[in-house]
Amino acid sequence: MMTRLRLSDCGLSTGKRARLQRILYQHGLRNGTALFLPYDQGLEHGPRDFFDNPDSADPRYIVRLAVEGGFNGIAVQIGLAEKFYWDFAGEVPLVLKLNGKTDIPSDHHALSPLHATVEDAVRLGADAVGYTLYVGTPAHEADFTQFHRVRQDARRFGMPLIVWAYPRGEAVDAKGGKDSFYAVHYAARVASELGADVVKVNFPHPEKRAGVPAPYAGEYSSQDAIDAVVRAANRTLVLISGGGRADDEAMLDKAQESMAAGATGLIFGRNVWQRDHDESLRFIDRLREVLAKHPTP
Amino acid sequence: MMTRLRLSDCGLSTGKRARLQRILYQHGLRNGTALFLPYDQGLEHGPRDFFDNPDSADPRYIVRLAVEGGFNGIAVQIGLAEKFYWDFAGEVPLVLKLNGKTDIPSDHHALSPLHATVEDAVRLGADAVGYTLYVGTPAHEADFTQFHRVRQDARRFGMPLIVWAYPRGEAVDAKGGKDSFYAVHYAARVASELGADVVKVNFPHPEKRAGVPAPYAGEYSSQDAIDAVVRAANRTLVLISGGGRADDEAMLDKAQESMAAGATGLIFGRNVWQRDHDESLRFIDRLREVLAKHPTP
Amino acid sequence: MMTRLRLSDCGLSTGKRARLQRILYQHGLRNGTALFLPYDQGLEHGPRDFFDNPDSADPRYIVRLAVEGGFNGIAVQIGLAEKFYWDFAGEVPLVLKLNGKTDIPSDHHALSPLHATVEDAVRLGADAVGYTLYVGTPAHEADFTQFHRVRQDARRFGMPLIVWAYPRGEAVDAKGGKDSFYAVHYAARVASELGADVVKVNFPHPEKRAGVPAPYAGEYSSQDAIDAVVRAANRTLVLISGGGRADDEAMLDKAQESMAAGATGLIFGRNVWQRDHDESLRFIDRLREVLAKHPTP
Amino acid sequence: MMTRLRLSDCGLSTGKRARLQRILYQHGLRNGTALFLPYDQGLEHGPRDFFDNPDSADPRYIVRLAVEGGFNGIAVQIGLAEKFYWDFAGEVPLVLKLNGKTDIPSDHHALSPLHATVEDAVRLGADAVGYTLYVGTPAHEADFTQFHRVRQDARRFGMPLIVWAYPRGEAVDAKGGKDSFYAVHYAARVASELGADVVKVNFPHPEKRAGVPAPYAGEYSSQDAIDAVVRAANRTLVLISGGGRADDEAMLDKAQESMAAGATGLIFGRNVWQRDHDESLRFIDRLREVLAKHPTP
Amino acid sequence: MMTRLRLSDCGLSTGKRARLQRILYQHGLRNGTALFLPYDQGLEHGPRDFFDNPDSADPRYIVRLAVEGGFNGIAVQIGLAEKFYWDFAGEVPLVLKLNGKTDIPSDHHALSPLHATVEDAVRLGADAVGYTLYVGTPAHEADFTQFHRVRQDARRFGMPLIVWAYPRGEAVDAKGGKDSFYAVHYAARVASELGADVVKVNFPHPEKRAGVPAPYAGEYSSQDAIDAVVRAANRTLVLISGGGRADDEAMLDKAQESMAAGATGLIFGRNVWQRDHDESLRFIDRLREVLAKHPTP
């Protein structure tokens, strides 16, 4: 089992450290692990994601769920942050998502345009910002350029920068797809190399080998893969995405392997709120049990 | 029947609240509902829209009609605002439309360029600004980017931001078209996520199902659809567009269903002024009767 | 009896006209006259002004009184506007006072420093800004300089600029004092020459003649004096201050003479709220009776 | 016969009104009509336009002709303004053309780039600026964006803004071409909606009906068409272009119909200077006779 | 006994509310009260303040004491924040003091110059900023001007602004001195009117009556006085300063009366750290007992 990074070992500035300290030690289990609730699907996929649990269409329901469930933070777009965070300001840390897009046009040249700034995040009392970087997209020049500005602002304001490192675009599709071990491994490293403080990745699938470069064509267990992903991120904290709704036991296994690999935590949305309120809380409890076994020493 | 949002529950800043309070409670029926008169068709479609009622080509005729008809606001482009609003300044609220385009080139990559700023609106004493966001267009990056700037300025100046959320572009055409339930539902949500204070949408057509994502392929009544659209907008006030000239009874049914769903009001242009003056006023009276039955509690 | 200026005759830009139209015709008696409630005494004199009616120390009590009493506006400093206007946003127009000072140091070199901007006023949805200009102070260079900037911003944003034109300083004291006919007459003209849209002056006292220049040494009735003051202001609307608490009948006489002279309205604070709630409302009713007799034609 | 707009009815700022007053009442016939001499063809078409009258290649010849002929203004690009206007500065009003292009590449995606600023116009003592807007071009986003900046500067400096409203681009060609009634009618309206003070259009050709929208497919006389164009422009003054060299009587008929429709004047270049000096002056006299019959009341 | 202000009733922006929520409910007693540790005396008085407890000269000793003692925040100047806060970043909230001065020259024209910005505070992860406003000083114009800028920045960044409202200067000395009821009462109000979120005042001394304005010349108990001070501050949270080292029981009485008056908390420095470590902690415990009796309802 790998050890989790301590904040004092990450080369963080004072402000970034102060804010991550608050997230990791004054919320959730207060043991250096993290459970985040992402809620940007209304933009990314549209309100069809809320059909399974109609209550989930209401951002107030979700923010309250984050408070009740003892999350370490909630990630939303600017519009919801402006309208809904005031009611619970400071009760659960806010991660302001700075870019986003709809899924209506194709993802072949994916680029997620900015619609908020790090200064918005400061103004709203957020403790971190989120940026989606489409690793491998043909639009990567525009992506790197706007990421560059975000990183500079995050540094200037001492704001932790969480990168949603998502392999995307025609070339990714041709080389094993967006959740191959190759793609996730590479994405984690790119985030680290470009200056992320925290990186959010999908759980890697080493069995997806069609078209991947030779070194990834071998046999790897999922534990091998996630271990490598966390190592690739080096001093960048790692969060594992939940992705679309899946079987509970499978999700818990992923969580367990991720934490064992030294990830800092989990960021699970649809698997949490695409079920009714009480079921959500029961599933959250099981996730917290996993985190409780992996405190940062 | 759903309840209409109160201004005090929308997470508004002081200036946005003051201006919306003026629009909703010091004009029109003064009961928290709204009837807006849009008059940007001279740019969007060209002066052919004025052929049925030649008086309607004269902006002064239209502003006076808005005053006489007891509208809650009139939406025009910068050129008309500069030249015609002074005569009636403050008598009817001004909504300055900040972007617009002609319908001469195709809409496959639709983008509506800015030709005025929120500061212009402040300078002219407007009580809101309007922005057309083409949800789903391949040009969404440029659209989100210019919207971002508008949102920041609107926030800075306490100016309510009304988003004309219009599904548009090749991908929309392929997934059910611009007024399917899917497209309107998604558009309302996007406006809310990106920070609109008010969203203007077309009335959704659940019967348009060709190519829509699976959750929208079922049977929905128009009331089901409009209810869902208003819920998707959450703390964003909803206005329903009239669109092209249609049968009066059909328009009044739409109005009734929209208000029952909790929409804040209507924004009807061609259905109002593409007939002679007295007929316009008679139709306005019937719209006001609908609004009068749905005061904000 | 002089006629009151119409807004359409004042050379106003669209935004200034829209905002003054709202103040004069959508609040109060809606007849083109105005009754304003000033509440900056907590800064200008300190909380001792609230001892006679302890409720008056609470800004919420005062804003509510302005709403109940049907005032055309309430004038406060930035701190109170930020904290208290939201609750009543848009229900009574806000006049944001941009400068102010305590009365602790002497007034010999009086200068009222800025602590808010026209942009703050825009952001808060105010319908006018107020600026205290100390006419005759030895610090007039600094005063004119900061006024210059305020006027530019007011023009840029279409925001009506109300000047508290107060004769002040050693030289004023030596030439008849701050409320002589000479001093008030001169102050009204200075405000008009420098670009005020509205000027607030004290009622002139022609009997204060010690040290005044020769032309003011003659016998003038108070009606002569106030007539001349309004004429001196030309296309600048005139508001008459109440000043410190005085006898009701004397105040009503002043009000009557001011309106007969063509003033647009009154701005009475301590005479209103330094008494209990019901007495305040009774006195307000008597002021409204005076205004009702002098509608703008 | 329609009446011509008076300057006092156009909603103009002080500076714009002052400059247009100079153009319309202190030059030419001094009766509120205008005859402009455009001289940007050296850029737009190249010097081949000067072959018929070699003197016309010399800008000094043209400026002198404008003075001799009693024009209300001369429109040139920045280079000629810098080098030739000094000699006659103030003798004839200068209209500085701010953008322009060659006709070497195709006009399918036409856009006319800026090469001067409103501030250049101020510096040179110009009384107006000119901007070519290509209505309907696929490049309309870039066009609207640069126009936006020009309009803001023109407002800031009180400089009248004359828009050369030219239908252009593939879609225009497919819908009746650049001088159909449809295209000219729409172009005049777009200029008005976007904030032109004066719009320059080609004389409309209602007989060009191939591909035009239905409402334009009927029978219209040229007088009907030009009447509608002037009405569509509402409070924007209208100038009619001469276009390429044509028969004198046909030009004079156009002029007569335009003035009868309420246009403010004419802007004729090649028809004026593509002949020798004395003939030019004789033709100018005939144009002035038309204008003399249509004074602004 | 008065009730303490809730954060939701203070008219705070989202960011200010989030940060104050963290200070008041995630540190100290977590009951809405506050105990702050100020440590700017090394600048304000010089290191002679550390003679009684030499350890107190070491900023690291003090920050650790704040953590051990369960303080709600520690207030320091920029130099110490840069060098000492990293070690404990996020463990105790940081209040960055933005201005300060030595006590070497006289206080007759007192002004406390800025040496840090709100942006510094953001960068360091601070949860509030502090500004010393010298109420009544002849230098009030410069003071109001620099405060104005700080207030704007604090608003822009959602950073709570704590005003050290200190009566100072010749005129204050002549009217009862800096801790008279009159002076403290006025100072609290000035902070509120100018836009403080929190005001720090000295405990008022109603028995200091020499030279005070008439309304303060009567008999008031210290409870009457502190009650009035908290009321004058209205929606501005009140902190009571400890001032110089005094008798423990007297300090505890002040604390008790302040909390009973509705103050939010205490900011005690020298009374805490001018004694050895264990005594400090014992005294802190007694202060916490007082706060525990006055939770925010």
Walk along chain D (297 residues) and give the pLDDT tens digit of each residue: 567 889 999 999 999 999 999 999 999 999 999 999 999 999 999 999 999 999 999 999 999 999 999 999 999 999 999 999 999 999 999 999 999 999 998 888 999 999 999 999 999 999 999 999 999 999 999 999 999 999 999 999 999 999 999 999 999 999 999 999 999 999 999 999 999 999 999 999 999 999 999 999 999 999 999 999 999 999 999 999 998 899 999 999 999 999 999 999 999 999 999 999 999 999 999 999 999 999 998
CA–CA separation, D122 and D94 (whole Å): 10
Amino acid (1-letter code) at residue C147: F
D140, D142, D213 ranked by CB distance to B48: nearest: D213
Whether C158 contacts chain B with CB within 8 A: yes
Q: How far apart, in whole angstroms, are the C-alpha atoms of residue D24 and residue D69?
A: 15
- Angle of helix A222-232 versus helix A248-260 axis, rounded to 10: 50
Instruction: Indicate which of E3, E10, E189 best probes the interface with C, i.e. most C CBs within 10 Å of its own CB.
Output: E189
Q: What angle do CA A203, A206, A210 make, to 5 degrees?
A: 120
Out of E19, E91, E122, closest to residue A15 by CB: E122
Query: Residue D129: CA atoms inside 13 Å, Cβ hemisphere, count?
Result: 32
> A5: burial class by Cβ within 10 Å (0-12, 13-18, 19+)?
buried
Q: With contact defined as beta carbons under 8 Å apart, do A22 and A93 qualify?
A: yes
Mean pLDDT, rounded, for C243-271: 96
> A176 — phi, psi (to 5°)?
110, -10
Question: Best of B14, B80, B197 to disrupt the C interface by mutation (most C CBs within 10 Å)?
Answer: B14
Terminal Cα-to-Cα distance of chain E (whole angstroms): 12
Residue B250 C-alpha from the chain's centroid: 19
Whole-angstrom Cα distance, residue C160 to residue C126? 10
Rounded CA Rg of chain E: 18
Count CB neighbours of A213 within 10 A: 11
Token digits for B7? 């201004």
Residue C145 burial (CB < 10 Å; 0-12/13-18/19+)?
A: exposed
User: Which of the residues A166, A186, A216, A220 is marked catalytic?
Assistant: A166
CA atoms lying within 13 Å on the CB side of residue D266: 30
Residue of C nearest to E196 (CA): C79
Chain C partners within 8 Å of B86 (Cβ): 14, 17
pLDDT (tens digit per residue) in B38-67: 999 999 999 999 999 999 999 999 999 999
Confirm if E147 and E133 have CB atoms less than 8 A apart: yes
A82/B148 touch (CB, cutoff 8 Å), yes or no: no
Residue B26 Cα, gap to closest chain C Cα (Å): 8
Catalytically annotated residues of E: 166, 200
- Measured distance CA(D142)–CA(D114) in Å, rounded: 11
**Do A and D touch (≥3 CB pairs < 8 Å)?**
no
Calpha distance C146→B11 (Å, rounded): 35
Structure tokens given for A171? 């070339």
**Helix, strand and coil percent figures for chain C, each rounded to 5:** 45, 15, 40
Band of residue B1 on the pLDDT scale cut at 50, 70, 90: low
Tell me if chain E has a CB within 8 Å of the CB of A292. no
From A48, A84, A105, residue closest to B235, measured CB to CB: A84
Distance from CA of B68 to the nearest CA of A (A): 35
Of B239, C84, C82, B234, the residue nearest A83 (C-alpha): B234
pLDDT in tens, B236-289: 999 999 989 999 999 999 999 999 999 999 999 999 999 999 999 999 999 999
- Rounded CA gap, D113 and D146, in Å? 8
- Whether B91 sits inside 8 A of C158 (CB atoms) is no
C148 Cα to chain B: minimum distance (Å)? 18
Q: Which of residues 123-152 of E touch C (CB under 8 A)?
A: 135-138, 140-141, 144-145, 147-148, 151-152
Q: Do B79 and D195 touch (CB under 8 A)?
A: yes
Closest CA–CA distance from residue E15 to any residue of chain A (Å) = 4
Q: Which residues of chain A have pLDDT under 50?
A: none
**Between B43, B50, B78, which is nearest D190 by CB?**
B43
Chain B hits for D189, CB-CB cut-off 8 Å, are 42-43, 46-47
Residues C124, B158: C-beta atoms closer than 8 Å:
yes
Does residue E187 belong to the interface with chain C, where contact is any CB pair within 8 Å?
Answer: no
> At a CB cut-off of 8 Å and minimum separation 6, what does B15 contact?
B157, B158, B159, C89, C122, C123, C124, C125
**Alpha carbon of E13: minimum distance to chain C alpha carbons (Å):** 9
Q: What torsion do the CA atoms of E81, E83, E84, E90 make, to the nearest 10 degrees?
A: 60
A17–E contact, CB cutoff 8 A: yes
Distance from CA of D144 to the nearest CA of B (A): 6
Distance, CA of A236 to CA of A227 (rounded, Å) = 14
Task: Please check whether residue B117 is in contact with residue D149, taking contact to mean a CB–CB distance below 8 angstroms.
Answer: no
Chain E neighbors of C82, CB-CB under 8 A? 11, 155, 195
Distance CA B34, CA B28 (A): 7
β-pair partners for D265: D34, D239
Cross-chain residue pair D10–B83, CB shorter than 8 Å: yes
Cβ distance of C42 and E192 shorter than 8 Å: yes
> Quick check: A47 and B185 CB within 8 A?
yes
Nearest to B15 among C21, C124, C158 (CB): C124
The arithmetic mean of pLDDT across residues B172-195, rounded, is: 97
3-state SS string for chain A: CCCCCCHHHCCCCHHHHHHHHHHHHCCCCCCCCEEEEECCHHHHCCHHHHCCCHHHHCHHHHHHHHHHCCCCEEEECHHHHHHHCHHHCCCCCEEEECECCCCCCCCCCCCCCECCCHHHHHHCCCCEEEEEEEECCCCHHHHHHHHHHHHHHHHHHCCCEEEEEEECCHHHHHCCCCCEHHHHHHHHHHHHHHCCCEEEECCCECCCCCCCCHHHCCCCCHHHHHHHHHHHCCCCEEEEECCCCCCHHHHHHHHHHHHHCCCCEEECCHHHHCCCHHHHHHHHHHHHHHHHCCCCC
Considering only the beta carbons, identify the residue of B86, B90, B124 that sits closest to C22: B90
**How many Cα atoms are found within 13 Å in the side-chain-facing hemisphere of D141?**
12
Q: How far is the C-alpha of D110 from the C-alpha of D262, rounded, in Å?
A: 30
Tell me how far apart the alpha carbons of residues E294 and C193 are, in angstroms, rounded to a whole number: 57
DSSP SS3 for D60: helix
Ramachandran area for residue D259 (φ above 0: left; ψ -120 to 50: alpha; else beta)? alpha
- Residue B160 CB contacts under 8 Å (≥ 6 apart), including other chains: B12, B16, B19, B20, B23, B127, B128, B129, B154, B197, B198
Catalytic residue among D16, D97, D178, D200: D200
Structure tokens belonging to residue B149: 């700037």
Tell me the pLDDT of chain E (297 aa) as tens digits: 567 899 999 999 999 999 999 999 999 999 999 999 999 999 999 999 999 999 999 999 999 999 999 999 999 999 999 999 999 999 999 999 999 999 999 988 999 999 999 999 999 999 999 999 999 999 999 999 999 999 999 999 999 999 999 999 999 999 999 999 999 999 999 999 999 999 999 999 999 999 999 999 999 999 999 999 999 999 999 999 998 899 999 999 999 999 999 999 999 999 999 999 999 999 999 999 999 999 998
Residues of B in contact with C15 (CB under 8 A): 89, 122-125
Q: What is the pTM of this model?
A: 0.96
